[in-house]
Structure 1
């Protein structure tokens, strides 16, 4: 495939700005969607400081990856798999969650630094990876449902639900019709037009509070830390295993597309920077980052493979992070709009898992179908456990057994490598 600019080429200033804006249009929705879900859980006043810190973290890590890490045109953002871990561990408190992310980041950076990924990769077969991709979407279903029925206390849940259904239908029609960069940035346009439609139908959304500063740092960059329970830490370490495979796959997919040299070194450096980024996330109290697998589509659409095209996007994200007024405007986006766009992103995740299964012929027998189907069903059921059922489990194991993603991952690993291993070896 021919590209107008190679990995280390520097586009002309005008082209650099245009390409940077395109990468920014891809980056902002992911940060905003996941960040807003978590920011609303903060009980200490405004959600603006959380989003400021998250935007700033992503900006710094993006620039660090471009110059020090994998040095590839690869966008990053909040890790959805960690969102599941956080939502399932709220009972343990944010101080324990922050410490768990910090510890997970340290381990990830250490594993990458000593080159141990080759030993871990063999456990993540195509079937296991397909379950990881799809399980993230299924276990986020309760969160999506809460968002699309959130009328902010003024709009009935039934009305917001019907709005969400109609909006989702329009979004998927657009996905089938659009091509190129328009399709790559569809999430951004969906947020813009979805918010405008919501305002027309249900009235204005809350504006930023009067007196919100145009430029200011978050009140506190450091977050509280507390020694996590064994169950909380174990749940996060399993989530970090999935994050590592996601990061690894994203780096290798872009490197393979571009024919990049020294991929072993790029991968280790890239994952190490991701790990250190999660350490920083734990210290600042925000969700940890990961490299996104959607980058090849953006590169193919723009024809630009230069890593430096992401520099303007990183700078713009940092500037947005320094503006409470800009962040407050983004935070006013209605919950149903965020919920539908999150559902659209998760549907794409399911599609990626199904494509991976087909490309690798991961499901050819009934038993192989069970290896994928059982963890997905079990993980989804656990995600919808009523609070009174979850409260009945012992406190030590509650973060593990009530986390649908963790239960699904443990199940698929057991089915793939223990229960059905001998039978698969006999068939081969």
Structure 2
């Protein structure tokens, strides 16, 4: 595939801004969707500050990656797999979650910087990776359901019907749109879906008049509390999945662009991602990862220049310094967020199925068991009622009530122990 601009080419200023705007349109929805879910757990009045810190962190990691890390045109966003760990560990307190993010980020950075991560790669066979990609989507189903049904002035049935119609429109648009329009569909769904929802139900509440246009997000250092072993283990498993996501994203773009020195790019990129996650724990926000949707944006725009992401990073940073702007962006109704998250997770499932097909991961009945059982068990655990989860001890709840962790542990056991002698 031929590109108008290569990895290290610098487009003219006007085109650089245009390409940067397109990358910005891809970045903002992910930050709002995933960050908004976690920010909803923040105490009253602090959701805007949370999103401010998240925008600033993502902007910083993106700049470091394209200029000094993997040096590839890869968009950065909040890690969905960490969202599962954060939600499952909320009962332990934010201090425990923050410390777990710091430790997990440091471990990932050290493994990547020293080259030790290569010794973990044999664990992640194509079948294990397929399960991990699909588990992220399946175990987020309870979160999506809660977002779609919503709470507040609008009856639940209205929210549910609205979400079904919007989801139908979004997936039809996904099949009809091409190029940049398809790459930025999430942004258009958030914008037009929100306007439609406000028009139908009149629920729009703007930020208060006291909200500043420009201001720092308040306390930049979050509380830290030493995590219990179960919480730390759960997060380390999530970080293993994050590492596979990061590795796949870097390699997919590197393969598309035929980039040189890929081993160095991978190690440096994963090191920066690990350091970014450690920093996210110190700041008290969800950690970052490179997104695998980047090849689609590159193919749609014809621009493979890493410098096109610099204007996008600077714009994200500017948004992070504006509580008023984030206040307006944070008004997106929860059913709209639920629908767009469904769209994003459907793409995640599709990526898992494509990966399995490309690597011949489905060749026998046993392969189906290795993939199907962890997906089913993980989904069932994700839907455990809160009353049942509360009966687990506080020390074991982050492991036993975490559907993603249960699914990953089970697929590793099936792949490497139960069926370890099965010929490839």
Q: Give me the TM-score of the superposition, normalised by structure 1.
A: 0.98
Whole-Å separation in 1 of the counterparts to 2:360 and 2:310 = 39
Deviation at 1:45, TM superposition (A): 2.5
Post-superposition shift, 1:204?
3.6
TM superposition shift of 1:184: 0.4
Distance in 2 of aligned mates of 1:46 and 1:226: 20
User: Do structure 1's residue 143 and structure 2's residue 143 form an aligned pair?
Assistant: yes
| C-alpha distance in structure 1 between counterparts of 2:23 and 2:90, whole Å | 33
The separation in 2 between residues aligned to 1:398 and 1:338, in whole angstroms, is 28
* 1:339-391 Cα distance to aligned partner (Å, 9 max, x none): 10001000110111111111111111111001000000000000000112112
1:372 alignment partner in structure 2: 371
Q: How does 1:340-351 map to 2 (within 5 A)?
A: 340-351=339-350
For residue 219 of structure 1, report the CA deviation from its aligned partner: 1.2
CA distance in 2, matches of 1:142, 1:173: 24
State the secondary structure of the residue aligned to 2:5: coil
Q: Structure 1 stretch 76-85 or stretch 210-219: which is displaced more?
A: 210-219
Q: 5 Å matches for 1:387-406? A: 387-406=386-405
For residues 63-106 of structure 1, the C-alpha deviation after alignment (integer angstroms, 9 at most, x for no partner) is 00011100000001000000000000011100000000000000
Structure 1: gaps of 5 or more residues: none
Secondary structure of the 2:150 match is coil
Identify the residue that residue 260 of structure 1 maps to in structure 2: 259
Q: Which residue matches 2:42?
A: 42
Which residue is equivalent to 1:94?
Answer: 94
1:23-422 to structure 2, matched below 5 A, reads: 23-151=23-151, 153-422=152-421
TM-score normalised by the chain length of structure 2: 0.99
Q: Give, in whole Å, the separation in 2 of the partners of 1:65 and 1:324.
A: 26
Cα displacement string for residues 271-320 of structure 1 (whole angstroms, at most 9, x for unaligned residues): 00000000110000000000100000000000000000000000000000
* Mapped partners of 2:46, 2:234: distance in 1: 29
Find the aligned partners of 1:406 and 1:63 in 2 and give their Cα distance: 32
Aligned-pair CA distance for 1:170: 0.3
In the TM superposition, what is the alpha-carbon distance from 1:43 to its structure 2 partner? Answer: 1.5
- Displacement after TM superposition at 1:200 (Å): 1.3
State how far apart, in whole Å, the 2-side matches of 1:133 and 1:343 are: 14
Residue 421 of structure 1 aligns to a residue whose secondary structure is coil
Q: Is the 8 A contact 2:92 2:394 kept in 1?
A: no
State the match for 2:6 in structure 1: 6
- Aligned-pair CA distance for 1:6: 0.5
Once residues 395 and 150 of structure 1 are traced to their aligned partners in structure 2, the CA distance between those partners, rounded to angstroms, is 28
Distance between the aligned counterparts of 2:192 and 2:46, measured in 1?
A: 25
How far the C-alpha of 1:116 sits from its partner, in A, is 1.4
For the residue of structure 2 that corresponds to 1:361, the secondary structure is coil
Distance apart, 1:44 and its partner CA:
4.6
Instruction: Report deviation, 1:394.
Output: 2.6
- Structure 2 gaps of 5+ residues are none
Question: What secondary structure does 1:45 align onto?
Answer: coil
Indicate the RMSD between aligned Cα atoms, in angstroms.
0.8
Contact in 1 for aligned 2:30/2:77 (Cα 8 Å) = yes
State which drifts further: 352-361 or 375-384. Answer: 352-361
- Tell me the distance in 2 between the aligned counterparts of 1:393 and 1:363: 36
Q: What's the secondary structure of 2:77's corresponding residue?
A: strand
Structure 2: how far apart are the matches of 1:82 and 1:235?
Answer: 10
Q: Deviations over 1:191-245 (max 9, x none)?
A: 0000011011111411111121110001111100000111101000000000001
Partner SS for 1:122: helix
